Structure 1
Amino acid sequence: MKLVKHAIAWLLATAMLHTAVAAEPVPEHIGQEIAQARVAGKGSFRWFGLKIYDAKLWVGDKGYQTHAPATAPLALDLRYARSLQGKKIAEASEDEMRKLNLGSAQQRANWQAAMERIFPDVNEGTHLTGVYLPNQGTRFYLNGKFLGEIMDTSFSHAFFAIWLDPKTTASELRTALLTDAGPRQ
């Protein structure tokens, strides 16, 4: 009986160790914005077979609600696999918002101009992080350093819809990002 108790204790300790090892360290800028942040899912975005970036969706204990607008903070971290101009990233973002029929033409033009002011050119390995703040807007970070913010809830909804809306053009990436996005008990 004693041997069985020791075996069970060892198995539980091993399982907890593997869980702790498997958990990703939370980047400081994400931890400051989201309490109890954890990776909900991750995947890669490819365009005509070329990898453009790897993406990670970070959520807190409330997870991500698939109905819009989200009521809990979340962060989307993109690690670029190639060099791109910030202006092109902003243009592509506006194009995806248009495809999802989000915002008016004037709103999207204003949002694109704001993104062009904030988004820098990126190189392989560069991290751009967008943090969704419910009922406020979005903050952007470059490699963990604050870049700027767009405090417009309509923009925030449209921006994160690029990856999280059921009608996104990147449906496989959406599925990968939402793998473990539910709330924690």
Structure 2
Amino acid sequence: MKKLSLWVCLLFSILPIHASPVSDLELVGQAKLQVWFWDVYESALYSPDGLYQVGSYPQALEIKYLRDIAAADLIDATREQWQRLSLWSEQSQRWLLTLSDIWPDIRRGDTLVIKVDQQGVSHFYHNGDLIGQIDETTFADSFLSIWLSEDTEYPKLRARLIGVTPP
């Protein structure tokens, strides 16, 4: 029995232990995106008190992907959503270049988190590991608008994320 305990302790001492980037926040709401009959991702929004307030930070959006998606496709989808929301600008193009350096190709089961801190800096995590950040405070509002704007392409998903509609 002592050998087993020793092996368990040794195993846990060499494995990296990651605190979740949202562990200090409370769940606001969660939703699954389905496009036609395909499950794309499950998402969850977090805030300090579990309530959504526009432009109030810290805040985090966690997306668990239910299919493989190339980073280039994520970049294209972000561009399309910003154009659809009339948020496209030269600044947006620079942000997409930065995101293309940050985001990896996604495998089914991977999680991406954007956590916006109190100063408005956006931190990106892939499967719990910090992979990059964008320091421009205007980025957070533009990026999160894809899901949280009243003009989002997916209003039912938005309603669930902000806690207006039960999951």
- TM-score interval, smaller chain: 0.7 to 0.9
* Matching residue of 1:115: 99
How many residues are aligned here? 147
- The letter of the residue matching 1:28 is S
Deviations 1:102-127 (A, max 9, x none): 142x1121111111111101111100
Using structure 1 for the length normalisation, give the TM-score. 0.74
Separation (CA, whole Å) in 1 of partners of 2:142 and 2:60: 14
* Matching residue of 2:161: 177
Task: Compute the RMSD of aligned alpha carbons.
Answer: 1.8
| 2:78 counterpart of 1:93 | yes
Pair member with larger Rg: 1
Separation (CA, whole Å) in 2 of partners of 1:177 and 1:58: 9
What's the CA shift for 1:133? Answer: 2.4
SS in 2 for 1:28: coil
Q: Is the 8 A contact 2:28 2:161 kept in 1?
A: yes
Higher fraction of helix:
1
SS in 1 for 2:100: helix
Using structure 2 for the length normalisation, give the TM-score. 0.81
Range that drifts further, 70-79 or 127-136: 127-136
Separation (CA, whole Å) in 2 of partners of 1:71 and 1:178: 13
- The letter of the residue matching 2:94 is N
Determine which of 115, 121, 132 is the counterpart of 1:131.
115
| 2:26 counterpart of 1:41 | no
Q: Is the 8 A contact 2:110 2:126 kept in 1?
A: yes
What are structure 1's unaligned runs of at least 5 residues?
1-26, 181-185
- The letter of the residue matching 2:125 is Y
Ranges of 4+ aligned residues in structure 1 off by more than 3 Å: none
- The letter of the residue matching 2:151 is K
Separation (CA, whole Å) in 1 of partners of 2:106 and 2:33: 16
Range that drifts further, 79-88 or 89-98: 89-98
Q: Is the 8 A contact 1:140 1:146 kept in 2?
A: yes
* Matching residue of 2:142: 158
Q: Is the 8 A contact 2:58 2:120 kept in 1?
A: no
Q: Is the 8 A contact 1:96 1:162 kept in 2?
A: yes
Q: Is the 8 A contact 1:54 1:79 kept in 2?
A: yes
Separation (CA, whole Å) in 2 of partners of 1:128 and 1:71: 21
* Matching residue of 2:20: 28
What's the CA shift for 1:136? Answer: 2.9
Separation (CA, whole Å) in 2 of partners of 1:133 and 1:92: 24
